[in-house]
Amino acid sequence: MRKLIYLTLIGLTSIACAGNESESNESETAKADSTEVVKVAHPEDDIDHHTLSNYTEVRTKHLHLDIAVSFENKQITGTATHTIENITGADHIDFDTKGLNIIAVTLDEGEAGEYTMGEYDELLGTVLSVKINENTEKVSIQYETTEKTEALDWLMPAQTAGKVEPFMYTQGQSIFTRSWIPVQGTPAIRITYSAKVTVPKNLMAVMSASNPVHKNETGIYEFDMPQAIPCYLVALAVGDLEFAEIDHRTGVYSEPSMLKDCAYELGDMGNMVNEAEKLYGNYLWDRYDVIVLPPSFPFGGMENPRLTFATPTIIAGDRSLVALIAHELAHSWSGNLVTNSTWNDFWLNEGFTVYFERRIMEAMYGKDYTDMLALLGYQDLMRTMDEETTDMQSLKLQLMSKHPDDAMSDIAYEKGYFFLRLLEQTAGRDNFDVFLKNYFDSYKFKTITTEEFRTYLVANLIEPYKLEVNIDEWMYESGLPDNCPQVISTLFNGVEANLEQFYKTNDVKKSIHASNWTTHEWLHFIRNLKEGTTPAQMAMLDAEYHLTQSGNSEVAAIWFEKSINFGYNKIDKELEAFLVKIGRRKFLMPLYTALAATPEGKEKAIAIYKKARPNYHYVSFNSIDELLGLK
């Protein structure tokens, strides 16, 4: 059906640091002479290598959970009932599990099921294989989670805002759902789900589904998710939660003491959904709510359908970090409606989402604001191009035996964004918008590979408008193609002029005119502090602008990183408090990396990490264990 394509990856070493100075204009043949030939894409290989399940033969259509959440045992126990479709008449169905105890399996109306467990694989876990026949409709698995779970974060009261009740949340993406529910752990298939969740009576449970708005007396909550989703989007949070409405279809959940601040910060959310719909079609998930979690949450946000999970570090007091909400909302189209078939196609989720996010931001807050976001994104991409090995620089990846979370780099996000921006620029915005809207509509509730997208793109944009775009270079090659769109931000030009003056005069008051600066101008300023900036210069900036005490997490994080780099020590107390409290990996990694660059710094890092590690989710401590060589 589809042809195999073999692509050449060229000038491997020179491209690594060259960014857009790659040799991308040379012809394929010329390139092949001087280099190693790497088969980058193998389009017939659409099967997902990150599942042990036999989902192409027999698959779950609907999942029903009947589970209880015990904080005493830090354990979820119960049954997962899979209603299945046997496509090939298979005699067994395989599920992914990781760190789960399987207690019993029954079929249909309760007859005992025969099952075996496979060998444990460090990356993928243990396959649970259940005997079935072609008439089997239901497989019920009684199970319990263990302390080896990777998805669950169990927080003690001291780790919450209220300090009285415990808290628990799940993180499914990319392949963690199997460590709290036995599932066919692939994004390639979609399931509907329902759940009955029993929690301690003083707590409330919410899921990526229809949700309660009040606690009830029984501690039993029932959920329904009638739209089919990939299993990485099944999500649960339990805590002392309250709800505040924003508009008729949006609202926010958080611990009571934070609710007012959260509702203010996310006050634009109703309009964001309206703007998103104007761009690319109706919001198809009924409600859009956000839960603001305790600070251990390892990501900025997670697009669990109907209920985005978010870090409290976006609650800055001035709505300056709400692009993250636009991002998670955009996933309601790119990612949740149209889903990457395998984690090799992750850029289809994230690149499209960054593009959509910035279109929402432009509609809400204007072009100047969005240019700043795009330019910061470009800087991130340049940094990533320097750090990533060439095999991880193409949009389409070949992860094979790598963890899919390794795909979570600015290649998927920002190279993906700039590719779509190039298509917009080449086709014209109006044409591109029609194309994208139709794309979401054509593939809604489906999954898609890079190759399927490529075919759709050629048929619906490239050929009709007779465009010439080096789409294969963007999708399949390392480095950044020469025709990467340029972003100019007049606001950032102003910041750079101030920065120049600062180094020339060494006088903060005379050189820097920051009274009207937004968060993003500050970020640009701090990011672009030059190598060799002295601790004395850092102290001057700090004395004037109190950056060490910044209540804005993004500003604080980059300020701390630069302070470590430049040997400015007056941040030590605040840095430690930040690292102990906040578990967001995006902040932690650069800070621990900066510390670990010197022997004394590394000692400091290890001492802080000892206190901080219990406050981190698996996703974060796993990365930092590795970074600090503790694994």
The residue among 16 and 237 lying less far from ligand BES, judged by its C-beta, is: 237
d(CA 485, CA 343): 26
Cβ at position 41, least distance to Zn ion in Å: 23
Choose among 153, 193, 208: nearest CA to 176.
153
- As measured in angstroms, the least distance from the Cβ of 170 to Zn ion is 17
Stretch that binds Zn ion, among 101-109, 197-205, 344-352, 437-445 (CB under 5 A): 344-352
Q: Which x/- pattern over 298-337 shows residues binding Zn ion (rule: CB under 5 A)?
A: ----------------------------------------
Instruction: Enumerate long-range contacts of 597-601, CB under 8 Å, 24 or more apart.
Output: 597/564, 597/565, 601/564
Q: What is the CA radius of gyration of the chain?
A: 25
Smaller CB distance to ligand BES: residue 319 or 604?
A: 319
* N-to-C CA span, the chain: 45
295 interacts with, out of Zn ion, ligand BES, none, CB within 5 to 8 A per kind? none
Interface ranges with ligand BES (CB under 6 A) = 173-174, 299-303, 324, 327-328, 331, 350, 405, 408, 413, 586
Active-site residue flag, 413: yes
User: Nearer to ligand BES by C-beta: 175 or 199?
Assistant: 175
Category of 38 on φ-ψ map: left (φ > 0), alpha (ψ -120 to 50) or beta: beta
Q: Give the residue with the Cβ less far from ligand BES, 586 or 602.
A: 586
Q: Which range, of 101-109, 251-259, 349-357, 376-384, touches Zn ion by CB under 5 A?
A: 349-357
User: Strand, coil or helix: what is 510?
Assistant: helix
* Residue 300 interacting entry, from ligand BES, Zn ion, none, C-beta within 5 to 8 Å by type: ligand BES
| Residue of 328, 362, 414, 451 marked catalytic | 328
Q: Which is nearer to Zn ion, 159 or 353 (CB)?
A: 353
Stretch that binds Zn ion, among 99-107, 352-360, 541-549, 591-599 (CB under 5 A): 352-360
Taking the complex as a whole, the smallest distance from the CB of residue 301 to ligand BES amounts, in Å, to 5
> Is 217 noted as a catalytic residue in this protein?
no
Rounded Cα gap, residues 350 and 335, in angstroms: 7
Minimum CB separation of residue 6 from ligand BES in Å reads: 29
Angle between helices 572-581 and 553-565 (to 10 degrees): 130
| 217 neighbors 203 (Cβ within 8 angstroms) | no
For residue 4 the two structure tokens come to 């195999």
Q: Supply the DSSP string of 404-460, one letter for each residue.
A: GGGG-SHIIIIIHHHHHHHHHHHH-HHHHHHHHHHHHHHTTTEEE-HHHHHHHHIII
User: Tokens for 523?
Assistant: 């970020």
Q: Which two tokens stand for residue 278?
A: 């104007």
Closest by Cα among 327, 336, 222 to 285: 336
The option from Zn ion, ligand BES, none interacting with 229 (CB < 5 to 8 A, set by class) reads: none
Q: How far is the CB of 619 from Zn ion (least distance, A)?
A: 14
Q: Which is nearer to ligand BES, 203 or 266 (CB)?
A: 266
Rounded Cα distance, 539 and 195, in Å: 55
Q: 72: exposed, middle or buried (C-beta count within 10 Å: 0-12, 13-18, 19+)?
A: exposed
Q: With CB under 5 A, what is the number of residues at the site for Zn ion?
A: 2
Which has the closest alpha carbon to 376: 486, 524, 556, 526? 524
- What span, in angstroms and rounded, lies between the C-alpha atoms of 163 and 141? 35
Within 10 angstroms of residue 460's Cβ, the number of other Cβ atoms is 16
User: Which of ligand BES, Zn ion, none is residue 421 near (CB under 5 to 8 Å by kind)?
Assistant: none
The DSSP 8-state label assigned to residue 486 in this structure reads P
**How far out from the chain centre does Cα 216 lie?**
32
**Angle CA 187–229–51, to nearest 5:** 25
Chosen from Zn ion, ligand BES, none, partner binding at 302 (C-beta under 5 to 8 Å by type): ligand BES
Catalytic residue among 413, 443, 545, 592: 413
Taking the least distance from each CB to ligand BES, the nearer of 143 and 347 is 347
Q: Which does 299 bind (CB under 5 to 8 A by kind): ligand BES, Zn ion, none?
A: ligand BES
Are the C-beta atoms of residues 361 and 370 closer than 8 Å to each other? yes
Residues 6+ apart with CB under 8 A from 102: 115, 117, 128, 141, 142, 143, 182
Q: Which is nearer to ligand BES, 427 or 555 (CB)?
A: 555
> Which residues are designated catalytic?
328, 413
Which residues of the shown chain bind Zn ion in the complex (CB under 5 A)? Answer: 350, 353
